Amino acid sequence: MATSTACHSLKPDCSWSWTVALACSATNFFTAPMTYSAGVVYTYIMELYSVSRQDAAWPLSIVPFSLNIVAPLVGITVKKIGIRPVAVAGALISSVSVALCFFAPNVTYLSVFLGGFYGIGTGMLVIPNAVCVNTWFDRKRASASGLVHAGTTLSAFVFPTLFRYCADAFGLRGGFLIFGAIMMNAAAFSFVVRSPPWTSMRGEGKKSPEPPHAPRRSSATAGLIRAGRQRHYRSFTSVGENAKHGRDNHAFDVGTEDFEVHRTSKSFTTTGETGTGILNDASTVGPSSKRETQL
């Protein structure tokens, strides 16, 4: 009961939406360190493994390829199981793959784990974050997207210098291990990233309530039919097109019983609780057992 009430209190652009946006920004911050430290890592790879510039560039050059090639599969997976499981799995894959580079004996090993698995894990985080922001925000979607990408930008200022310090103090392998532990924080923030309650509830086979929106103006036909089926309307006024058809206005009272509208007009308005209506075109009202008509 409490969960249902909480779900109904959420809506696009609410305070919890900004909490989710901050969590997405934090996951981007803790996922991007190796991407923006590529220049620093590149020099240490050449020094540790005594390889050429071409060979040293392979691991981090594969990251964008892995990130983008996995995008279609990630999109399908997000649709099937939801945002949170994919984001958490991506955070774990990216952080563990960087930590496993501690055991890398050669550049080929780095290309598989730092280039392949790290890129896949990053793609599993970046895409759900974009989907999450689009679903949690409506009017302030652009501001929220800017906040999410700000985490990635901040990562570019912090982690290259930090990796250089760690590599100088503990070596390249030690830097990989430390950064793998730091990146594990993205998994914690990923638990906040989830689908809004008004989207499909994964695994439960049902739909959550739609987000509250401003009520739409109903059509004239739908308004007339609803008014015709409603009880306790005391009066109803129909005005024909006098000038065009030479008809007299007709005013009649409708009792408390339901009445049926056989032909609707092009426009209809109701006033107050008395059920007073004005039709711009002639309509036919079916007979009722309890109705007094004055012509």
Distance CA 121, CA 88 (A): 9
Q: Which residue has the tokens 């004239």?
A: 220
pLDDT, residue 192, reads 87
Contact 291, 259 (CB under 8 A): yes
pLDDT, residue 148, reads 87
Amino acid letter, 242: N
Biggest CA–CA distance in the chain, Å, is 103
Distance CA 44, CA 110 (A): 12
Cα Rg of the chain (Å, integer) = 32
Positions in the chain short of pLDDT 50:
1-7, 201-209, 211, 214-215, 217-218, 231-244, 249-295
> Has this prediction a pTM greater than 0.75?
no
Q: Which residues contact 82 (CB under 8 A, 6 or more apart)?
A: 194, 195, 202, 203
Distance CA 233, CA 30 (A): 63
Superfamily of domain 10-207: MFS general substrate transporter like domains (1.20.1250.20)
pLDDT, residue 220, reads 52
pLDDT, residue 261, reads 42
DSSP character at residue 236 = E
Q: What element of type H or E holds 295?
A: none
pLDDT, residue 136, reads 84
pLDDT, residue 101, reads 95
Return residue ranges of the chain for CATH 1.20.1250.20. 10-207
